Amino acid sequence: MALNFPLRQKFATQSRAAGGWLTLPSTAIARTIALTKGISWVLVDAEHGLITDHHFYDINNIIAASGVSPLIRIPADEPWMIKRALDSGAHGIMIPMANSPELVRKVVQATKYPPAGIRGYGPMFTHATGALNATYKAAANENIIVAVQIEHPDAVAQIEEIVREGIDVTFIGPYDLAVSMGVEVGGAEHSAAVKKILDATKKAGKVAGIFCLTGEQAEARFAEGFDMVSVTTDIDTLFDGFAAALGKVSAL
Ligand code: 3PY
Ligand code: MG
């Protein structure tokens, strides 16, 4: 059974999936982003954002009610965190620092009910997926979107093996990738690593994603062949908006 996940529909039609990034625990901000024309997914950031699992359920519902897929980025590759995020109705999960095929296999198993995996049963609050309990369980394994972040040289070195695991998306974290490689974002080594990840992902028939902070960056990444790209974040929009407004005011 197919669950009605807007982001899966984007994948099926191979059209550009532009997303927003939510770092603040606010249903109002989540809805504002989700209702922006052109957005098909919102990343709920429980890794570096201020959001915790206490907020997941309401945020997922408001994003899904806007016709957009909520994805949750959890702080680490822990099965219990994956379980809590999925049980709150996320359409998908994003795992930071997915640095080896073994780790990715463990993560994929944590997203699946037995016998395919080890996910525990308790989908009473998965309203944002449009299904609950037995109906949800019957559909979850094949519908939940699994995105793993490629943001470390160990992952780049093993990218061909990583993309063969049961994931849907490789999602590049360009800033961690630069920090962990000890190079500049956009420099020659960084760009070569990004290209290697993109090529391996496309060759495996998986979705290639990358984090961007501006529409200009997103447009360039889509043009390079990426399928799933963020356009900005709530907090960056606030920074930029306040700075731009204050830039018009003299003698402060
Ligand atoms: C990174 O650039 O490291 C990311 O994870 C984007 O949020
Ligand atoms: Mg990162």
> Tell me, what's the pLDDT at 24?
98
Nearest partner of 172 among 146, 195, 143, judged by Cα: 195
**Mutation choice for ligand 1 from 77, 151, 180, 190, CB with most ligand atoms inside 8 A:** 151
pLDDT tens digits for range 5-21: 999 999 999 899 999 99
> Tell me, what's the pLDDT at 1?
81
Q: How far is the CA of 123 from the centre of ligand 2 (A)?
A: 29
Domains of the chain in sequence order = 15-243 (3.20.20.60)
For ligand 1, whether the C-beta of 47 sits within 6 Å is no
CA distance 249 to 232: 25
CA distance 104 to 27: 31
> Tell me, what's the pLDDT at 2?
85
Residue nearest (by alpha carbon) to ligand 1 atom 1: 173
Q: Which residues are bridge partners to 207 per DSSP? A: 169
> Tell me, what's the pLDDT at 191?
98
The structure's pTM equals 0.97
**Average pLDDT of the residues of the chain:** 98
Nearest partner of 45 among 18, 26, 72, 68, judged by Cα: 72
Q: How far is the CA of 75 from the centre of ligand 1 (A)?
A: 12
pLDDT > 90: percent of the chain:
98
Q: Is the pLDDT of residue 26 over 90?
A: yes
Instruction: For residue 241, give the amino acid letter.
Output: G
CB-based contact 101:165 (threshold 8 Å) = yes
Q: Which ligand has an atom closest to residue 176 CA?
A: 1
> Tell me, what's the pLDDT at 135?
97
Residue given tokens 């559909």 in the structure block: 139
Q: How far is the CA of 20 from the centre of ligand 1 (A)?
A: 13
Q: Which ligand has an atom closest to residue 97 CA?
A: 2
Residue 190 falls in the annotated catalytic set:
no
CA distance 47 to 94: 10
Looking from the CA of residue 177, the nearest atom of ligand 1 is 3
pLDDT tens digits for range 163-207: 999 999 999 999 999 999 999 999 999 999 999 999 999 999 999
Q: How far is the CA of 23 from the centre of ligand 2 (A)?
A: 13
Residue nearest (by alpha carbon) to ligand 1 atom 4: 173
